[in-house]
Structure 1
Amino acid sequence: MLKKKVTDLRSAIGLLKSVPGQLLETNEPVDPHAELSGVYRHVGAGGTVMRPTKTGPAMLFNTINGHEDARVIIGLLASRSRVGLMLGTDPERLGFLLKEAVSNPVAPIIVSKDKASCQEVIHYAHEPGFDIRKLVPAPTNTEEDAGPYITMGMCYASDPATGESDITIHRLCLQSKDEISMYFVPGARHLGVFRERAERSGKPLPISISIGVDPAIEIAACFEPPTTPLGYNELCIAGAIRNEAVELVSCLTINEKAIANAEYVIEGELLPGRCVREDQHTNTGKAMPEFPGYTGPANPELPVIKVKAVTHRVQPIMQTCIGPSEEHVNMAGIPTEASILQMVEKAMPGRLLNVYAHSSGGGKYMAILQIKKSQPSDEGRQRQAALLAFSAFSELKHVILVDEDVDLFDSNDIMWALNTRYQGDVDTIFIPGVRCHPLDPSQSPDYNPALKDKGISCKVIFDCTVPYHLKDKFKRSKFKEVDPRRFTTDI
């Protein structure tokens, strides 16, 4: 359980320092251009990163080339057990924690500027020498990246029509001393709706980007519809997780709010009618590594944020992640689990025991559903649960169904179920021609000419559950219950 109260990034780091094996700190100078991520790839990235990699501690770099006073932390959320530690629950119960938080929101509050540590140091864009690239040590993941990227920026904006606010995470590339390009997955984010409404009226959309915040905010920001529909502010989920309202502060140069205890805040406006090519300075044709494990193509036309100011804490800590790392798995996957749990429980209470958004799908493409069949009429409900999972999270591509005696967090146990409780011709359900996610390179007419558009996929259910009438024939071998601590200290 939680040993120290976590309210911001620094208290989260303090907690990790008190637990052996959760944080690696180094004073060795590191280049934020490709080297920093290259190091962490070996230390703790995991996820869909090309091997060799592993799940390991978070890493804090205290000496960043070109940034004298700044530090960079990477991999804060790149371990499910570490996320559980920082959110105060068992790793296996994280989906349930978030499910309850969605249903019991705690709205954010606004505090005065004198209580906002994010505004301890202020840099205005109109001042001589202002350059966001020198102020914010945004790394590049690889040497092919389109530029330095902010990968853990909490983007906060408000609907120009209703005033309702929301927070999401986007791909943000530093393009010049005061411009940032912003990538929107088509139709998937509330801020995209806000931007389109402002664009139609010909007005800029004020936006703040808070970097280095309470991990509860970073996880909550990754919820998507229908669990959090338009008008639902995900900061309310973070408040529920902590049982304490998230504190916001008014920005200095725009009519918007930012997270009061963030390490950095970038204030700016999304400009109407202004777009740039994502790789305009590198011409690599590539953006940055994304969660499926491939480097995304550079977008030829992205909206632009015009930066008005950068504020930060004294000796700020930049937070970043490797796009395809286990960090993305947890940020995207745990809200996915909560969304599936919520929808299936409403439709068929008591039958879905747990959900795991598997690492190999980056937290988005694959979910393992653990189902309990208690009576003959439960047969077939496992497949209905899978259909509900696709409805709960539209970017889901594959669902694997397993019984209650399978450890859904153990990939070997899942493969065992696939090998002994599954027949391809009777236990595979294909759902072709469904919209999924454009970053999967196989979801393209180039890969499958039958697909009508990029991002359309054949969704698949792998039913690895035992038919109810055969359950007695598929019982696992039972071993004697003993206490192994009598014989070894390694348990």
Structure 2
Amino acid sequence: MIKELINSIDKIEIESADKKYEITKILKKYDGKPVYIKDVNGYKVIGNLCNRETIARSLGIDVNDLMNYMLNAMDNEKNGELIVDNSLKEQYISDDLDKINEYPIPIYYEKDAGPYLTSGVVIVKDKDYGVNASIHRILVKDNHLVIRMVEQRHLHYIYNKNIKDGDVDVAVVIGAHPAVLLAAATSGDITFNELKYASALMKKPLKLVKCDTVDLEVPAGEYIIEGKITSEMDDEGPFVDITGTYDTVRKQPVIKITALKRKKDAIFHALLPGGVEHKILMGLPQEPRMYRGIRNTIPSVKNVALTEGGCCWLHAVVSIEKKTEGDGKNAILAALASHPSLKHVVVVDDDINIYDPNDVEYAIATRAQADRDIIIIKDAKGSSLDPSGDHENKLTAKMGIDATISLKKNRDEFIRAKIPDDE
């Protein structure tokens, strides 16, 4: 599925690159634009694949419709259809387990602990809650993998729930369709089926292939790594997180590899840590959740965007149709409550393009007064990804700017000049 998308989009084509640092340099140079590298140690690599435009294209919709489209798909998640098609097995070749050291898995930055899988969709199964799909960074270390599990995530819960009964079956899918990546990055409750949500996003059944060495059915990506998450721990990190700064070294679970498979002429997906693709996949799934939370308070909310400059995590812009004088400030409070990691939020009128930083800054410059329109909240729970926060107490300061036109003002004074269309 990913090959058809790659063939259909505009992309930068590079003849060859080394997997140590050189892939990073290329992806950094063209950050936000898809890059296809024809030869990395004999393998093909795609990077910067998932920006807003390519995700929308992969779903057959306009980019401005993404947020509402995701909301509708979430509402229909339970109706998503999964089909196990074992004829897909014919598309794969099996590799010896030590072949993973030859795969084009990048070493991205100078202090990285080693090669890292960054785009892998991790599939596990729980007898009570069913299948879970999520994205985690995975260190390739000697003859095994080390997976970073965030304590609040469902994978961590399922692992701890099942590891007392023995190793946990796992599969890592690399080179999945953007709908699968978007779904795997979405936070629902423990019963939320990310693969069915991917099907709802695609508006067609999602085809799965049964694994050979573990009891799992997984999306038919370009590469599939089968294995067992063990109770053994190993050092994971340092590695770069979404802010472009290094995360710390921790003891994390070891994955014992049981099978390596890839499609003939497979394309490896390299996701640049701290790049636009990383930010979009992390932030975009939060926008529908924020929209719903804000809509409960401000029914006239129009759109929500987590901005790239704020790492698609710490900063947001909210568009509303202002009905009463307090709507802007209520939208600020609702936005901060609906995404607890949010640090700064700007609320604007619906004539402002929330995807254009210049337009948002224009709204702040011409419609906000600092003594009246800024809300500051001290000592709130914040994101561990913010290097400026109080990590010991998990606290931060938060700020909202109401950059909407005051209803006490004459709106005509704020209308921007337009050039009439040719008659």
Residue aligning to 1:87:
59
1:61 matched to 2:37? The reply is yes
Q: Distance in 2 between the 1:372 and 1:278 partners?
A: 47
Q: 1:149 aligns with which of 113, 116, 122?
A: 116
Residue aligning to 1:301:
251
SS of aligned partner of 1:14: helix
**TM-score using structure 2 length:** 0.94
SS of aligned partner of 2:372: helix
5+ residue gaps, structure 2, are: none
1:38 matched to 2:25? The reply is yes
Residue aligning to 1:354:
303
The Cα of 1:156 is off from its aligned counterpart by 0.9
The Cα of 1:359 is off from its aligned counterpart by 0.6
Please list, as runs of the form range in 1=range in 2, the aligned pairs for 1:178-197 lying within 5 A after superposition.
179-187=144-152, 189-197=153-161
**Contact 1:181 1:278 (C-alpha < 8 Å) held by counterparts:** yes
Deviations along 1:37-85, one digit per CA (max 9) or x if unpaired, are: 112211x21xxxxxxxxx43x11111113xx3x21111111x3223222
Residue aligning to 1:132:
100
SS of aligned partner of 1:94: helix
**Contact 1:156 1:168 (C-alpha < 8 Å) held by counterparts:** yes
Residue aligning to 1:12:
5
Residue aligning to 2:45:
72
Change (3 A) 1:412 1:218: same
SS of aligned partner of 2:408: helix
Residue aligning to 2:132:
166
Residue aligning to 2:184:
221
Change (3 A) 1:335 1:133: same
Q: Distance in 1 between the 2:138 and 2:63 partners?
A: 30
Q: 2:295 aligns with which of 339, 342, 345?
A: 345
Change (3 A) 1:465 1:84: same
Please list, as runs of the form range in 1=range in 2, the aligned pairs for 1:37-436 lying within 5 A after superposition.
37-42=24-29, 44-45=30-31, 55-56=32-33, 58-65=34-41, 68=42, 70-77=43-50, 79-105=51-77, 106-116=79-89, 120-123=92-95, 125=97, 130-134=98-102, 136-160=103-127, 162-177=128-143, 179-187=144-152, 189-199=153-163, 201-224=164-187, 228-259=188-219, 261-272=220-231, 274-279=232-237, 286-287=238-239, 289-297=240-248, 299-349=249-299, 351-374=300-323, 378-436=324-382
The Cα of 1:15 is off from its aligned counterpart by 1.5
SS of aligned partner of 1:32: coil
Change (3 A) 1:480 1:250: same
**Contact 1:340 1:355 (C-alpha < 8 Å) held by counterparts:** yes
The Cα of 1:333 is off from its aligned counterpart by 2.3
Change (3 A) 1:111 1:417: same
**Contact 2:2 2:177 (C-alpha < 8 Å) held by counterparts:** yes
Q: Distance in 2 between the 1:305 and 1:431 partners?
A: 42
Farther-moved stretch of structure 1 (465-474 vs 144-153): 465-474
Deviations along 1:324-380, one digit per CA (max 9) or x if unpaired, are: 11112321222122212223334443x111111111122111110011113xxx222
SS of aligned partner of 1:362: coil
Q: Distance in 2 between the 1:394 and 1:112 partners?
A: 40
**Contact 1:367 1:399 (C-alpha < 8 Å) held by counterparts:** yes
Q: Distance in 2 between the 1:33 and 1:413 partners?
A: 39
The Cα of 1:252 is off from its aligned counterpart by 0.7
Q: What root-mean-square deviation, in Å, do the aligned CA atoms of Structure 1 and Structure 2 show?
A: 2.0
SS of aligned partner of 2:309: helix
Q: Distance in 2 between the 1:117 and 1:328 partners?
A: 32
**TM-score using structure 1 length:** 0.81
The Cα of 1:146 is off from its aligned counterpart by 1.2
**Contact 1:334 1:363 (C-alpha < 8 Å) held by counterparts:** yes
Change (3 A) 1:425 1:248: same
**Contact 2:317 2:348 (C-alpha < 8 Å) held by counterparts:** yes
Change (3 A) 1:252 1:163: farther
Letter matched to residue 316 of structure 2? A
Q: Which has the higher strand share?
A: 2
5+ residue gaps, structure 1, are: 1-7, 17-21, 46-54, 280-285, 446-451, 487-491
Q: Distance in 2 between the 1:80 and 1:109 partners?
A: 25
Change (3 A) 1:112 1:407: closer
The Cα of 1:471 is off from its aligned counterpart by 4.7
Q: 2:390 aligns with which of 432, 444, 451?
A: 444
Q: Distance in 2 between the 1:163 and 1:409 partners?
A: 37
Q: Distance in 2 between the 1:145 and 1:122 partners?
A: 28
**Contact 2:80 2:198 (C-alpha < 8 Å) held by counterparts:** no
**Contact 2:332 2:347 (C-alpha < 8 Å) held by counterparts:** yes
SS of aligned partner of 2:122: strand
Letter matched to residue 373 of structure 1? K
Q: Identity rate of aligned residues, in percent?
A: 25
Q: Distance in 1 between the 2:339 and 2:234 partners?
A: 31
